[in-house]
Every structure is written in C-alpha cells, then in structure tokens.
Structure 1
Amino acid sequence: MIMRKTLFLCALLGAFILAFRFLPPGTLSLDAIKAHQHALIAQVNHAPVQSALLYFAVYVLVSALSIPGAAFLTLLGGALFTPWLGVLLVSFASTLGATLAMLASRYLLRDWVQQRFALQMKTVNAGMAHDGAGYLFALRLMPLFPFFLVNLLMGLTRLGVRRYWWVSQLAMLPATVIFLNAGRALGNITSLRDILSPGLIVAFTLLGLFPLVTRWLFSRYPFSTKK
C-alpha cells in the first residue's frame, strides 16, 4: 500500500511538473487571456468541437492539479463560447477536476489523518454524516475558502463521491454563470475585483450558510403543528 501511494504521488508530481511546462506561469492570467482572445476566438470558429474538447481537458487538468487560474479560464470560456455551451463545459469540467483532486487527497491522506487525529476526526465524521452536503454547499459558496482547500479537506472525510459531485456542481454553478457572463465583456475587466464585489461575496456567503442556519434553527426551536 505504501509503495502504491508513493508511486501515485510521484505520478501526481510528474503531472504537475508537465502541466507547468505546458502552462508556464503567466499563461493563466487576465493579461494573457486578453492578449490571445482574438486568436483563440478565431481558432474556436475554425474548429469548434476540437476547441471545446481541448478547453474542457485543460480545465479539468487545472482543477484536478489545483493550478491557480481556474477563474481566468472561466472568464475565457465566456469570451469563447455561447452561454449555454460555456456553462456546460465549465460546470462539468470544474466538478470533474474537483472530484479528482478530492479523490487524490482521500487516497493519499485520509487513512493517516483519520488514525493520527482519531478523536478530532470522530467529531468531524459525525458532523459530515449528519449534514455533510450542507457543509460542502456552504464551503463551495464562500469565496474565503479556496477551491483547492475545499477539495483537500473533503478528501479527508467520508463524504460519498456521488454526493460530493452533485453538491459541488450545484454550489459552484452561481459563480460559474457570473464569471462566464463577465467573460463576454472581457476587455472591460481589469481584475477579479470587478466581478467579486464585497456585496456579492457577502451574498454568496449568506446563501451558503442559509441551509445550515435553517436546519440549526429547526433543530433548536422545533415548530409543531399540533395544538
């Protein structure tokens, strides 16, 4: 088992290094995608299917390896593809990448963490068994929690893969739509702050916390219809 995990870790590091050679620093930046926007649009018009598949593959790779730049890729998707195709590509690519990252974390770290911090993880496991989907939904909607960190932390838990997939896809959809829509006017964007305003961050946070707060209120103050 240790040997297999070591080989898997080496393969993961190798993939990370190859990805950085393929996507060197600065490639996934706002300036870079704006500079190549017209050339990429011409390529999409020339080979739409191949371009969509390549975009999907790159997005999965970036998400799975936790390479910074997924937000800029989403903006680029808004500039390159129609709204419906952009949502389809980004939503499924980001969720697939996130699930692969979570499974890698689970395979490499969960057993060790569960044994090393057995007492603490007992509490975490109980909470996840009770409302794991709610916690994941909240974390996905809170911009303060980075994408890669949520994948890493959820990999340490016993949350089911299917539940992880559909909750992630649902919770990440609002931000996906907002970034894709912003990408349609890519030339007017100077930084991500133009998209994620403080008010929008607060709104996402409240939306993520709403199911958890509602459940807590109903458990603490049960409402009965009996007279």
Structure 2
Amino acid sequence: MNTKKMLITLAGIMGIGLFFWFDLQRFLTLEALKANRQALMDYYAAHRVATVAGFMAVYIVQTTLSLPGAAVLSLASGAIFGSIMGTVYANIAATLGATLAFLVARYLLRDAVLNKFGGKLEGINKELENRGFNYLLFLRLVPVFPFFLINLAAGLTRLPLRTFFFGTMVGIIPGGFVYVNAGASLATIESLSGIASPRVVGSFALLGLFALIPALYSKFKDRTRG
C-alpha cells in the first residue's frame, strides 16, 4: 500500500475510533432527536444553507465510514426539512456516502475486506458482476443484506461506478422515504423497529422482485443456451 492510500486508511480508522471513543452515537438516537428537534428546526429557520450542508456532511461521513445512525439521520431529515426535501437531501447524502465507501473498498481495502468477508460476499459478487444494475436494485430495495455490506461487496467487483451510483440512488428512494416521512411526524414514533412494518417490508420485497425479473430472465437465457 502506497503512502497516500495508507494515510487515507489511517484517517478513516481514526475517524471510526474517535466516533466510538467520544460515544458520538448517543447523539444519533431517537431519544436525542426528539429532545433536540425544536432546537434543530430553530437553527434551520435561521441558517438554512448551513443546516442542509451540515446535515449532508454528517450523513455522508456516517455512510462512508459505515457508522451506526443512518435510520436516525433519515428521521432527522424528515423532522427538519419535511418529507419531500428531506428525502431529497437524505438520498443525495446516502448515495454519495455509499459511493465513497464503494471507492474505498475498491481502491484501498480490497485485500482486508476479502479476508474478512470474502466467503459471505462471493455470491453477491458474482451476481453484481453478471447482472449489474437490476441485481443491485434488488439488493437496495429488499432489506436482506446490510447497507454497508452491499457497498463493500460492490466495490470488490467490476461493477461500473456509474451503475453503482444510479442503482443506489434509485434503489434507496422507497426505504428512505418511509423513514423520512416518519420523521416528519416524529412525535408519533415510539421505536425505530416500528417504522418498517411487515406490510412495508413486504412491499419492498415485491418491488425488488420486479426489479430482479430482467436479471432472472437473462440468467434463464444463459442456461438455456448452455
């Protein structure tokens, strides 16, 4: 690993270490969000651009470093910015963060990630390489694999960056909207687990299956030809 890659890797490790050392996760809880919602909204009313920029920066760093707190950040986006603009800001930030994580996995951490998750990622890698956009869309729509793991897995394949970017951006819209829209009615939320009901998860699964149809058809054609 050359010096530049080593410095970037060390910076990332230091960022993760500081997050847990200072227990910053305590600010990314449902209780903390409820307690600070009014202060955040007041700050947004006085400093709109700074609030949006600060929120997106935090979300991008959280996603890039695969830190906990994405659900609460999505709720915060809805609570502060409303359902529509909150979804836009959260989607852009999550997509950029995921793309940075993808690039980190591809160019900095390939060997380390393969050593740690290689066995679990083998099936995902093969499908992402062969089916591309549709399979990635399926993975984003159906909550089967953790968000961060998909970012790492995709970075270890030959999946084009553009395909990853747009597949992620489109695929996370439904799930993101559910959490952001819930955040717009923050007072009614008792727990994070209650947001994604079985009916909502089932709807995502159905969307994912529709997204997967072209990939399944292509796979079927390959087998019949073989």
What TM-score bracket applies, with the shorter chain setting the length?
0.7 to 0.9
- 1:157 match: secondary structure: coil
Aligned to 1:6: 6
Deviations along 1:19-55, whole A, 9 cap, x unmatched?
4467613210111101111111111111111111111
RMSD: 2.9
| Alpha-carbon offset, residue 209 of structure 1 | 2.4
Aligned to 1:132: 132
Unaligned runs of 5+ in 1: 222-227
Report which stretch shifted further, 31-40 or 210-219.
210-219
Aligned to 2:36: 36
Unaligned runs of 5+ in 2: 222-226
Change (3 A) 1:162 1:138: same
Tell me which amino acid in the other structure corresponds to 1:66.
Answer: S
Aligned to 1:216: 216
Cα separation, 2, equivalents of 1:153 and 1:105: 8
Structure number with larger C-alpha Rg? 1
| Alpha-carbon offset, residue 128 of structure 1 | 3.1
- 1:158 match: secondary structure: coil
* Residues 25 and 68, structure 2, Cα contact 8 Å, conserved in 1: no
Aligned to 1:95: 95
Change (3 A) 1:107 1:83: same
- 1:68 match: secondary structure: coil
Cα separation, 2, equivalents of 1:95 and 1:86: 14
Report which stretch shifted further, 165-174 or 196-205.
196-205
Cα separation, 1, equivalents of 2:24 and 2:204: 32
Cα separation, 2, equivalents of 1:86 and 1:99: 20
* Residues 78 and 181, structure 1, Cα contact 8 Å, conserved in 2: yes
| Alpha-carbon offset, residue 212 of structure 1 | 2.1
Cα separation, 2, equivalents of 1:122 and 1:49: 43
Cα separation, 1, equivalents of 2:195 and 2:31: 16
TM-score scaled by structure 1? 0.85
* Residues 27 and 33, structure 2, Cα contact 8 Å, conserved in 1: yes
* Residues 124 and 157, structure 1, Cα contact 8 Å, conserved in 2: no
- 1:159 match: secondary structure: coil
Q: How many residue pairs end up in the alignment?
A: 220
Cα separation, 1, equivalents of 2:74 and 2:124: 33
Aligned to 1:67: 67
Deviations along 1:164-209, whole A, 9 cap, x unmatched?
0001000000111111111111011011222101121122122112
Deviations along 1:50-89, whole A, 9 cap, x unmatched?
1111111111111111111111111011010133321221
| Alpha-carbon offset, residue 130 of structure 1 | 3.1
Tell me which amino acid in the other structure corresponds to 2:101.
Answer: A
